Amino acid sequence: EAGVAQSPRYKIIEKRQSVAFWCNPISGHATLYWYQQILGQGPKLLIQFQNNGVVDDSQLPKDRFSAERLKGVDSTLKIQPAKLEDSAVYLCASSPGGLNYGYTFGSGTRLTVV
Amino acid sequence: AQSVTQLDSQVPVFEEAPVELRCNYSSSVSVYLFWYVQYPNQGLQLLLKYLSGSTLVKGINGFEAEFNKSQTSFHLRKPSVHISDTAEYFCAVSDHQGAQKLVFGQGTRLTINP
How far is the C-alpha of A99 from the C-alpha of A113, rounded, in Å? 33
CATH number, domain B3-96: 2.60.40.10
Looking at the structure of chain A, the number of domains it has is 1
Cβ pairs A/B, distance under 8 A: 54
- A25 shares contact with chain B (CB less than 8 Å): no
Cα A59–chain centre separation: 12
- The mean pLDDT of B43-66, rounded to a whole number, is 93
List chain A residues with CB under 8 Å of B34: 102
Q: Given this model, what pLDDT does residue A42 score?
A: 92
The domain that holds A50 is classified in CATH as 2.60.40.10
- B109 shares contact with chain A (CB less than 8 Å): no
- A106 shares contact with chain B (CB less than 8 Å): yes
Q: Report CB contact under 8 Å: B49, A102.
A: yes
Distance from CA of A18 to the nearest CA of B (A): 23
* B102 confidence band (pLDDT: 50, 70, 90): confident
* pLDDT tens for each residue of chain A, 114 residues long: 679 999 999 999 999 999 999 999 999 999 999 999 999 899 999 999 998 899 999 999 999 999 999 888 999 999 999 999 999 999 999 998 766 677 899 999 999 999
In three state form, how does the secondary structure of A27-92 look?
Answer: CCCCEEEEEEECCCCCCEEEEEEECCEEEECCCCCCCCEEEECHHHCCEEEEECCCCHHHCEEEEE
Convert the pLDDT of each residue in B6-36 to its tens digit.
999 999 999 999 999 999 999 888 889 999 9
